[in-house]
Amino acid sequence: MANIKNHSLFNEFDINLFKAGKLFRAYHFLGSHIIEVDGEWGVQFAVWAPSAKKVSVKGNFNGWNAGSHPLSPRWDGSGIWEGFVPGLGKGALYKYHILTAEGRQIEKGDPYALFWEIPPNTASIVWEFDHQWKDEEWMKKRSDVQGLNRPYSVYEVHLGSWRKRNKGTESLSYKDLGDELVNYVKDMGYTHIEFLPVMEHPYFPSWGYQVTGYFAPTSRFGLPDDFMYLVDRFHQEGIGVLLDWVPSHFPADAHGLADFDGTHLYDHADPRKGFHPDWKSCIFNYGRNEVRSFLISNALFWLDAYHVDGLRVDAVASMLYLDYSREDGEWIPNRYGGNENLEAIDFLREFNETVYREYPDSITIAEESTAWSGVSRPTYTGGLGFGMKWMMGWMHDTLNYFKHDPIHRQYHHNEITFSLVYAFTENFMLPLSHDEVVHGKGSLMDRMPGDEWQRFANMRLLFGYMFTHPGTQLMFMG
């Protein structure tokens, strides 16, 4: 058996916080960490797998042998397996080999991995950050430029398709984007950029909303330090960086969170609560304390390690309602008989409270498509605590209005005036987002009536209306 030492980064207080769902920087302890133990450098591994019979770490350092480096379970009932492997360092490939209670053998990536192989390969990679930040000026003044009383003009971007080379076959790297994209956004006068999910995901042609590596920027475009460089470059030019964050669901890919230790560790066993019918994915169990520690730790990680300035939370409506996209009999009411997901509500409030306590100069934004009251109201007044909410009704009504020929618009003025009835009930952001170009909807230009000159005139009118309407603005790349 290869050399492995019984070592831990946890103390008893950390474990109690993890069990209580209050360990909000769990990534300091779980995952892989390059440390020194008894004068010898190596990698400390720790993974939460409470129902596993055995857990070992395998990789390119032991010939992918599942029996070479077994991890030890902690004595405290936390379900954490850990161990120190001497001699390992940055760049080592690894997976967790898990023997389930039923005797199945499964391989999993590290939920807390900082770096992954380029898909379709699925190994996690030991990593340590080396980037030297140069955004001190931005970080000092961030509270002055990110208040709710400040202007926001956000450019929404999918990194993989913003601009390509070699006849459209090769996406730009993080380093390339640090020059070309930063200069473009600066020249266009945007105050912020928002990236569609950069976290590791298996399917390249997708937007990135099926996340398997929550703590790692996708390796398709470069190293983690390269993504830090990209964020740093934006900050040096006075431009804020927002990330799409997906705590609403995760995919069922074999190397991801699903069936992690042979059980529904991160989701619900009952598909009426744990399966998302629209996306065929798994719904997080917000009532499980260790899952809350995982998710809130992940949110803080991007603010801590990558200096991002805010998070836009995807699909909040699907989290709030137990009957979201479900027919009668396909969902389980809450303890009061209602359709509100009380666990998700508590989670979102705690998420926002934690983010604003740690980073009062950051911003959280909800993509919430219903009339749920108080999304951007403080939690102490009964709200969810977000800083802003996407104004989905405005987007729908406005685009419906502009598709009409100008001669007929006199019969549809209600579509551009109704939003003013509720414009001040939330802190709204007006989105012309990626959702409006998918599934064959076409570009904004394609929706405008008339010839090319008239379409450009309508586009100018649309943007003029958008930027004089109460709220902040977001536009998808085009």
**Which residues participate in catalysis according to the annotation?**
314, 367
Query: What's the half-sphere exposure (Cβ side, CA atoms, 13 Å) at 60?
Result: 11
Distances, alpha carbon 322 to alpha carbons 178, 275, 292, in Å: 41, 11, 18
Torsions phi, psi for 290 (to 5 deg): -65, -30
Lookup: tokens for 406: 């100008």
Asked if 217 contacts 305 with a C-beta cutoff of 8 angstroms, the reply is no
> Cα torsion for 387, 392, 393, 394, to the nearest 10°?
80
Distances, alpha carbon 383 to alpha carbons 127, 180, 286, 316, 453, in Å: 39, 40, 18, 14, 46
Residue type, 232: D
Strand 428-432 and strand 472-476: pairing? Answer: parallel
The rounded distance, in Å, linking the Cα atoms of 331 and 311 is 29
Q: Residue 383's CB: how many other CB atoms inside 10 A?
A: 18
The rounded distance, in Å, linking the Cα atoms of 335 and 107 is 37
Torsions phi, psi for 47 (to 5 deg): -145, 145
Distances, alpha carbon 179 to alpha carbons 193, 232, 241, in Å: 14, 11, 15
